[in-house]
């Protein structure tokens, strides 16, 4: 009977660990998407944005519980479409494994000409 209880306990811990990992994975993916979407319009200098696209991506990633690890978000004064790419990291603590790093990347396109559409 004790062996069965031990096996059940080990399985419960394993399921909880997997759940913590996937929750962190979804949080990282959401933070990466939000950071990319926030940084994209800031790349358009005439838009009147204050600060850099990387600063905006970092702020939004932190608000979503992640840290920005990379931002390919060049400022462009032209009216050409541009794509930004960001990578974020989340560090959950998983019992028995300690802190692990979960990363996610996202891209967003900004089309300045769409601002002129009726």
What local confidence, expressed as pLDDT, does residue 12 receive?
Answer: 83
Check residue 48 and report its DSSP letter.
Answer: T
Strand partners, 103: 89
Confidence band, pLDDT 50/70/90 cuts, at residue 47: low
C-alpha atoms less than 13 angstroms from C-alpha of 11 in its C-beta half-sphere: 6
Whole-model pTM?
Answer: 0.84
Residue in the structure block whose two tokens are 């998407």: 33
Please choose, from the candidates 106, 100, 97, 96, the residue with its C-alpha nearest in 3D space to the C-alpha of residue 64: 106
What is the C-alpha to C-alpha distance for residues 49 and 84, in angstroms, rounded to an integer?
A: 16
Check residue 17 and give its pLDDT.
80
pLDDT in tens, 6-43: 888 888 888 788 888 999 999 999 999 999 999 999 99
* Mean pLDDT, residues 62-86: 94
């Amino acid at each position: 009977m004790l062996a069965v209880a031990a096996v059940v306990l080990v399985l419960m811990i394993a399921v909880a660990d997997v759940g913590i990992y996937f929750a962190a994975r979804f949080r990282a993916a959401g933070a990466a998407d939000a950071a990319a979407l926030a940084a994209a319009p800031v790349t358009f200098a005439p838009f009147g944005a204050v600060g850099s696209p990387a600063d905006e991506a970092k702020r939004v990633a932190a608000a979503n519980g992640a840290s920005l690890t990379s931002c390919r978000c060049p400022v462009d004064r032209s009216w050409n479409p541009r794509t930004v790419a960001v990578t974020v990291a989340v560090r959950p603590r998983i019992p028995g494994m300690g802190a692990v790093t979960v990363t996610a990347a996202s891209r967003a396109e900004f089309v300045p000409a769409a601002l002129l559409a009726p």
